[in-house]
Amino acid sequence: MDAELDLTRLTELQELLGSELSEIVATLVDEITRAVDEIEAGIADGDLRAAALAAHAARNSALMLDAKPTLDALRAIETGARDEDLVIAQEGLERLRSAWPALRRRLQAEAQRRS
């Protein structure tokens, strides 16, 4: 297991959902990417409620993977946004900007490797 992705979770998801790993990864990547875009827009516009909702949605997807760095960043965004603390939400977003691309690449590489 690497620091960002528990590969056994992918196998468990595949068995549970009965879907191809590439389909599962594509869905998770789409969901998280959409939420990250909404977080970015919410924070940029000062709409912390929208940022909190998007972070919560992304956390649900990332939780299925037990992707700790991404989860930690999303948790910080959600907490900061719910507490109306823009600084904390922005700090979480900075961490997410690093963690999410790394996780996305890792997921896509693993899906391709297993196909």
Q: Is 1 a residue whose pLDDT tops 60?
A: no
Q: Walk me through the domains of the chain, giving residue ranges and CATH numbers.
A: 7-109 (1.20.120)
Taking the model in full, what pTM does it have? 0.90
Q: Tell me what the mean pLDDT of segment 92-114 comes to.
A: 94
pLDDT for the residue 3: 54
Mean of the pLDDT values across residues 16-31?
92
N-terminal to C-terminal alpha carbon distance within the chain? 20
Q: How many CA atoms lie within 13 A of 14 on its CB side?
A: 15
